[in-house]
């Protein structure tokens, strides 16, 4: 007659698997609360900073104006700079757009003429 030997730890395996499954299903992730949810900021951007543009480094260069960015839970000014020209394109500046009860930053881009 063959005897089946059962380890005293084998009885714990189904129970430990069940406990693991229950603990994993109880994990819930909530979006961050506060002034920034899904790309929308509740805090309106301040008025633009006054920048000294100066002289272009070379003919045809385009001034990319500064803008307010949202970093670390607050608006942070990003300074403007001169960019080389993109023939056949013009620069559309960054802009904060009103969305529902908040604001969303539309990044600046080069648009075809």
Q: Domain segments of the chain: what residues?
A: 36-112
pLDDT per residue as tens digits for the range 17-65 = 655 554 555 444 334 444 545 689 999 999 999 999 999 999 999 999 9
H/E run at residue 16: helix 12-25
Structure tokens at 81: 């700079």
Given this model, what pLDDT does residue 108 score?
Answer: 97
pLDDT per residue as tens digits for the range 57-95 = 999 999 999 999 999 999 999 999 999 999 999 999 999
């Amino acid at each position: 007659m063959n005897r089946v030997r059962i380890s005293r730890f084998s009885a714990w395996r189904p129970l430990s698997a069940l406990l693991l499954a229950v603990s994993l299903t109880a994990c819930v992730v909530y979006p961050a609360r506060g002034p920034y949810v899904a790309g929308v900021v509740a805090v309106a951007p301040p008025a633009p900073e006054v920048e000294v543009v100066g002289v272009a480094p070379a003919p045809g260069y385009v001034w990319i104006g500064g803008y307010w960015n949202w970093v670390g839970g607050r608006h942070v000014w990003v300074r403007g700079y001169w960019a080389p020209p993109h023939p056949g394109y013009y620069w559309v500046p960054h802009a904060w757009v009103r969305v529902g009860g908040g604001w969303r930053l539309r990044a600046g881009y080069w648009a075809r003429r």
